Every structure is written in C-alpha cells, then in structure tokens.
Structure 1
C-alpha cells in the first residue's frame, strides 16, 4: 500500500496494521524528506498522538501524519507506526 499526497509517495509498504479503520505504516517506510516537525498533540484511548507536517512540491499540510511514541498498552501494535489523514490517499 502507498500513502500519496500532492503527487509524492510518502510511504510504501505491504506491512500495514489497521486499527479502527486507520491504516498504520511502519515508521521506516515514511519518506522523511517530506516531513517537518509539529508541536501538535492529541489524546485518545490509543495514547497521546504526536504529529508531523508535510511539505511537498511547495505545498504545506499541517499535522497530516500521526504516531504514538508510547501507545496505550491495549495497542502495542501501533508502536513504531505512522498513519495519515488530511487529504493523504492510501492506495493499494
């Protein structure tokens, strides 16, 4: 599966974990050349989510990538994984 935004492949992997409809890619599959730091955080039953923003082909997409550095103990499969939203397409 691939995560694509603004014409760029952000991540590409066959090792996908699906939790609550969200598709999580291995962190190692993330193309870091397209990401930038974000201070944004949110909390859910999965833990405290941290975010990354995207900068691709001159366009910025704030907080479009999220991950759980320390997921809740009920979600150990999320450790070391990233997910996408805000217009990022997941294609097979």
Structure 2
C-alpha cells in the first residue's frame, strides 16, 4: 500500500534512504530505488523466499567504515500480489533506524 509523508533510513547518523512516498508491507517500509543511496549498497548472494512475495535478494550496507551484512532486501521479480514493491528496498530494523513522519 502506497504511503506518503517522510520516511527515512539511518545508520550511525548517516541517512541511507529518504523519500516522501513509499510502500508499506507487513510493517516494513519499502523505499523506492531512487531514494536509496546506491553507494552504500553492496549486493550479496543471500536470498530468502516468501510464499506470497517471491524471492528476496539482499544488500549489505557500507557506512562510515562499518559493514552491515544483509541489512537490506528487495524483490527484483515479485509475485503479482506484491508487484508494487518491485525493486523497492527494505531494511532490517535491528540494523537500521527507520522512521516515518
């Protein structure tokens, strides 16, 4: 479901994603790809599978000399039921501070 307002993802005081429109699924904010700082993303080989969304691929985040393994995920080819989150990036809340205003 598309939401509006301000959503931000921060690691150690550094903003890694910021947008005024995002998707929310199962309590997670999915940031449009254009709102994520691509220079902090490092694609990994890790994947997971969700029965209704499909296969998620992962990124590690490189911020200020720190590397957070598999801290973000996205669905490059989601199932039809989750088509609105295609390529949108979500972050593990245990590794990244995600706020919504």
- Structure 2 distance, partners of 1:32, 1:19, is 22
Q: Give the alignment partner of residue 77 of structure 1, picking from 80, 84, 88.
A: 84
Cα distance per residue 1:40-80 (max 9 Å; x no partner): 00001211000010111111100111000001111111113
Matched, 1:91 2:85: no
Q: Unmatched 5+ residue regions in structure 1? A: none
TM-score between both structures, scaled by the size of structure 1: 0.94
- Greater than 2 Å deviation, 4+ residue runs: none
Q: Unmatched 5+ residue regions in structure 2? A: 1-6
- Structure 1 distance, partners of 2:87, 2:58, is 13
Matched, 1:65 2:72: yes
TM-score between both structures, scaled by the size of structure 2: 0.86
Equivalent pairs counted in the alignment come to: 92
- The Cα shift of 1:8 comes to 1.0
RMSD, aligned α-carbons: 1.0
Question: Residue 56 of structure 1 corresponds to which residue in structure 2?
Answer: 63
